[in-house]
Structure formats: structure tokens, C-alpha cells
Amino acid sequence: MSDSKTPKPGPGDPAPRENIDNTRVQYGIVLVITLVHFTGDFYSSFFAPLLPAFVDKLGLTLTQVGLLTGLVRLLAFIIQPVVGYLSDRYESRWFVFTGLFLAFFCIPFSGMAPNFYVLLLILCLGSLGSSMFHPATTGMVPLYSGNRTGFCLSIYNTGGTLAFALGPVFITWYVARFGLEAMPWTGILGLVAFLFCLRYLPRPQSENLSHLGFFKSLKVTMGPVYKTIFLIWLVMFLRAVTGQAFMTFMPIFLKDAGHPLPSVGLIVAFFIVAGTLSGLLAGYLADRTGFRKIFFTSHLLMTPALILYLYLPGPFVFIGAFAAGFFVLASLPLGVVMAQKLVPRSRAMVSSLMMGLAYGLGGAVSPLVGGLADVYGIEAVLLVMAFIPLTTLVFIARFPRMV
């Protein structure tokens, strides 16, 4: 991009943009981007494990739980394609830091919500924040990954999955010790990380799409490969439907089975920690053996792992949680990497389709799942959901060979 087309730095942006060396991995910058991801998702992770506490405090029905979950996750992810397009178009850190601020500032105040509607409003604001920083940061990772894009995107994804592992343990312990009303004080941790990232995060690099509208940019960048992109997206969506159902309703199922709230948070953490490890392993192996093989294996083993999670008794549920998380979350970074390789000019927007739109629509199914659970019971509904990953195998078989 010539100097004449380079936008002037906005407020908070570093003055000249640094030259990016695409031949080597710049782990320092990758880790700063990962810290943004970790911080935002750390606060987003408070929601699911505290659902039993919100149910007890506000008297929520399972249908309300499903509606709350669906709207929160829909807002967190559904608008990401638009934000991704804007991130590809403008060289600004505004999307990243506004989103990060809303996440760490708003979500802690959910503990003070006096009723369902205030709780919904507060969590929706935090979710909108989450939707803002994800596309821009995900699109930045390949710029600093050299020839290790799969592994570096797995590191970035690990920031999010690790946050969703540590966040539930922290917040369930914190609420059990200090109460829901003390949650706003947890925002201090986010403020510290926010100031650090404000100092060291570089400005995103646009793809010179400013002369194109939203739909024309989709046609130009994705037109030749839209069928493959749709196949990958469909698999990511179906994986999200299953994963979101278990993430939303297993904490309630476990609490009803007699597990105390801190134990529920720890079980959820096992699920996410396993996904952290499998995401790194999957990214490492995919760079060497190909993406399709890893996709197929993880989705094939997802169903038996979820059934173990649902039915293993007592303390053995930790084994089931680890196995389920390992296979459910293993392929999460792989779909993003494949899409970015197929559409390199629209990294942020295509990333938002794979993570944001797919994950958001997957979460939007939660009200339906909650309604069915009210009628048929959580256990029966989750058992049926566990078999959805097997339907994705026919689509994965049609993925292109890609290393």
C-alpha cells in the first residue's frame, strides 16, 4: 500500500505503522494479541458457570436461560462479519479497545442485576464488546505468524480457551466467597491488562477494501471459493450448536445432580483446559499433516466423548469433561486457518464468519434447546445433541487437502 493510501493514525494508534516481516514468527506480538483475546474471553466466561446462581437469585426458567444465552451469544458473534469487514477496511485499534473495555467493564456488573431484563441488558453490552475485538485480532495473527499460521492461530485461540478454563474457576470461587454483588471489583484485573495492551498492541493492517462495499468485498474476496467456505462454515456451525448446548446446560445438569457451584466451575474448567491442549496439538499437527485429517478425527470422536461427559458418575465426570472438551474444541482454530488461507485478502471478515457467525448462530439455538429441556429434560436433549458431530463427517470428507 502506498503512503498516499495509508490512513493517518487515529487516537490511540501508534504514529507510523511498523514494517511487518512475513518471513518469521514474531511471537512477542502474537502473545500481545493473545492477551487481548484472553482478557476479553476471561470476562465472557463468567456467564455460563454462574447460570445456576442467576437461576436461584432471579428465579429464571430454563426457557429464560435459553433466551438469555441465545441473545447474549448471538450479539457476541452475529455482528462479527460486519466488524470484520470494517477491520479489513480501516487501520484502527478502536474496534479492539472499545470491545475489550465493554467486556471487562460491563460483564462484572451482571452480579448486581435486580431482575432478568437488567441482567439481559448488561450481558448484551458485554457481548457486543466481545464481538468487536475478535475479528480484528484474529485477522492480525497471520501477519506475524510467518509459515506457522496454524500453530500461531492455535496460540491465539489458546488465549480464549484458557480464559474460559480459568474464568469459571475464578468467578465461582469469587462468588461463593464474596457474593454476586461483589463482582464489579473483578474489573480491576481487566483494567490492568487493558492498559498493557494499549501500550504494546500494533495497529491492524487493512487490505485496501475501502473502495468496495460490504457485499462487493465478499464477492471479490470469497467469490472463487464460496462453496468451500460454506462447507467449512457449516461444519463450524454444527460443532458450535453441540458445544454451546453442553456449555450452557451441563452446569445446570451437574448442579441438579448434586455438584456444588465451585465443583461445577472446576468441571467446566476441565472441559476448557482440555480444549486448550487439543487446540495447540491440532494446530501443530495440521501444519504438518493437513487440516482435513485432524478435522475428521476430532469430529468422529466427539460423540462418544460427549456421552461419557453426560453419563460418567461422581468424580469420574471430570474424565468425561476432559475428553469432551478435548474433541469439541480441537477443530476451533482449524476452520479459521483454512478460511484465511483460502481468502487471504479478507482475514478479519472470514475469521468472523468461522468464529463469530458460526458460533453466534450455534448459540442462538439455545432457546430452542432450553424449551425442549423444559419439556423432555436436560439429559434426554443433550444425549440427542451429542450425535450431531457425526453428521458433519460427510461435509469434512469434501474439504480440500490443505497444509
Give the CATH number of the domain where residue 295 resides: 1.20.1250.20
Q: Full-prediction pTM beyond 0.85?
A: no
Q: Which helix (H) or strand (E) holds 191?
A: helix 187-200
In a domain, 9, yes or no: no
DSSP string, 334-362: HHHHHHHHH-GGGHHHHHIIIIIIHHHHH
Q: Is residue 12 part of a domain?
A: no
> String of b and e for 190-211 (b: at least 16 CB within 10 Å)?
beebbeebeeebbbbbbbebee
Q: Is residue 54 domain-resident?
A: yes
pLDDT bucket at 207, cuts 50 / 70 / 90: low
* In-domain check, residue 356: yes
- Do 143 and 30 touch, CB atoms closer than 8 A? no
Domains in the chain: how many in total?
1
Q: How far apart are CA 235 and CA 201, in angstroms?
A: 32
pLDDT attached to residue 220: 58
* pLDDT tens track for 325-334: 999 988 887 8
Domain around 300: 25-203+211-396
Determine the Cα–Cα distance for residues 8 and 41; give it in Å rounded to an integer: 30
Tens digits of residue pLDDT in 162-206: 887 788 888 888 988 898 889 999 999 999 999 998 888 887 665
Residue 2 falls inside a structural domain: no
Inter-residue long-range contacts of 326-329, CB under 8 Å, 24+ positions, other chains counted? 326/274, 326/275, 326/277, 326/278, 327/278, 327/298, 327/299, 327/301, 327/302, 328/239, 328/242, 328/243, 328/246, 328/271, 328/275, 328/302, 329/161, 329/243, 329/272, 329/274, 329/275, 329/276, 329/278, 329/279
Q: Is 19 within the bounds of a domain?
A: no
Exposed/middle/buried for residue 115 (C-beta within 10 Å: 0-12, 13-18, 19+): exposed
Question: Quick check: 12 pLDDT over 60?
Answer: no
- Which tens digit of pLDDT belongs to each residue from 339-393? 878 776 666 777 777 777 777 777 778 778 888 888 888 889 999 999 999 999 9
- Highest mean pLDDT among 42-56, 102-116, 267-281, 382-396 belongs to 382-396
For the stretch 49-100, pLDDT in tens is 888 888 888 888 777 787 887 777 777 666 777 777 676 676 667 878 888 9
Residue 239 lies in a domain: yes
Establish if 82 belongs to a structural domain.
yes
Q: Side chain identity at 118, as an amino acid letter? A: V
Q: Taking Cα atoms as reference points, which of 287, 393, 299 lies closest to residue 341?
A: 287
